[in-house]
Every structure is written in C-alpha cells, then in structure tokens.
Amino acid sequence: MTDRERPRPLMLRLTHWVGAAAMLCMILSGWQIYNASPILPFTFPIGLGGWLGAGIAWHIAAMWVLMLDGLVYLVWALISGHFRRDFLPLSPRAFTRDLAAALHFRLAHDTDRYNAVQRVLYAGVLIAAIFAVLTGLAIWKPVQFAPLTGLFGGYPTARVLHFCMMGAIVLFLIVHVALVAIVPATLRRMIYVPRRARP
C-alpha cells in the first residue's frame, strides 16, 4: 500500500464523519428555525423537525455533538501535529499561486498533502464553525450570555452573523463535495475498507 492509498488517521476519519453528520443536522434544523422568522425574503424548502420547537431541539442536540466532536478534533490535531504538518506553512504567495492554477484547472491534486487553497478553505471553515457556535450561543441564551450577545452587537446582529456563518459553511460544503467528486481518491482515504488479500 502506497502513502497515497493509506487511509487517513482513524481519529481524523471519526471526527470528520461525526462532525459531518452533526453539521448536516444543524444546517437542516437551522433552516427549520430560520423559516419561522426569515431574515431574507425567502424560506428554505426543507428543514429538520417539521416545526419550530422540534427544529430547535434538533439544533441544540446536534450543537452539543458538534462541539464535543470539534473539541476532540482540536485536541487530537494539536497533540498529533496535524495542524502543524498539514496546515503549515501557509503564505499569501503560495495561496495566490495555487488559486491561479486552480482557476485555470492546472492545480495538481495531491491526496497526501493539502495545497495552499485547501489549507485556507479548511482553516476558514474551522473559523466559521467557531463563530457559528459563539453566535449561536449568543442568540440561544441572550440573557445568560449577555456579554457575548453584546460583543456581537446585540441579538438581531448576532442572528444575522449566525446566518452568515451558516451560509459560509454551506458554501464550503458545496465546494468540498464538488472537489471530492472530481478527485474520488480523497473519499477512499476517508472511508477505509481493507482490501481482500489476493490468493
């Protein structure tokens, strides 16, 4: 088995799929909550829960799963050197170079190493997820977390920021899934099924 065929570390795969399931539940239940009081002049055709109360229950339950999963990932990534090894170094020059190559469909996709564009996208979605959690807490318990809610400019502003973070995460997921469809080898490394030994 070559390095490019070897599966990703077990902890990375576990936190990835648990986080993906929790994030999907949060997005769908978030749409259910949004539909009860839209910020923009449209609603989402699907949601999780069927009504506002159930949507909130799903959202909060998925939030705890996502937060725990995120903490496990962060601790593992720091201890194992995943952040240092896979996200650094990162420079504006490398990002500009790889982005230009990607826009011209000339960027080679190495399944064993993140390019500069991937590093920025992964770092960006981690930051968006952290802000989504913080703004979510600010609008979930605006009295108990009054200083946090005030930090984001009050309940209405925190709600808009929360919606924007969700939009950024959904946009990332669309790009992420599209890239996986283009380079399916990346998916194989995240879903490890041992090959049968040849007779």
| H or E segment to which residue 119 belongs | helix 116-140
In a domain, 180, yes or no: yes
pLDDT of residue 184: 73
**pLDDT tens digits, one per residue of 61-78:** 999 999 899 899 989 989
In a domain, 199, yes or no: no
pLDDT of residue 192 exceeding 70: no
Note the pLDDT of residue 52.
93
How confident is residue 190, by pLDDT bands cut at 50, 70 and 90?
confident
Identify whether 197 is part of a domain: no
Degrees to nearest 5, angle at CA 175 with 10 and 165: 90
Residue 173 phi/psi, 5-degree rounding, is -65, -35
pLDDT tens for each residue of 32-42:
999 999 999 99
Q: Which residue range forms the structural domain that includes residue 61?
A: 10-190
According to the model, what pLDDT value does residue 157 have? 95
Residue 53's pLDDT is what?
Answer: 93
Q: What is the pLDDT of residues 78-124, one digit of tens each?
A: 998 887 777 777 778 888 887 887 777 776 665 566 777 778 888 88
d(CA 17, CA 73): 11
Average of pLDDT values for 169-177? 89
What's the CATH number where 72 sits?
1.20.950.20
CB atoms within 10 A of CB 31: 20
User: Of 49, 73, 59, whose CA–CA distance to 125 is shortest?
Assistant: 73
Count Cβ atoms within 10 A of the Cβ of residue 103 and give its class: 0-12 exposed, 13-18 middle, 19 or more buried.
exposed
The number of domains in the chain is: 1
The predicted pLDDT at position 111 comes to: 55
Average pLDDT rounded to a whole number, residues 136-156: 94
Quick one: pLDDT band at residue 138, thresholds 50, 70, 90? very high
Over range 184-197, report the average pLDDT. 66
Split at pLDDT 50, 70, 90, the class of 153 is very high
Residue 5 within any structural domain of the chain: no
Give domain status of residue 4, yes or no. no
**Res 186 pLDDT > 80:** no
Domain for residue 149, yes or no? Answer: yes
Q: Is residue 33 part of a domain?
A: yes
Q: What is the pLDDT of residues 12-65, one digit of tens each?
A: 889 999 999 999 999 999 999 999 999 999 999 999 998 999 999 999 999 999
In a domain, residue 198? The reply is no
- Average confidence score pLDDT of the chain: 85
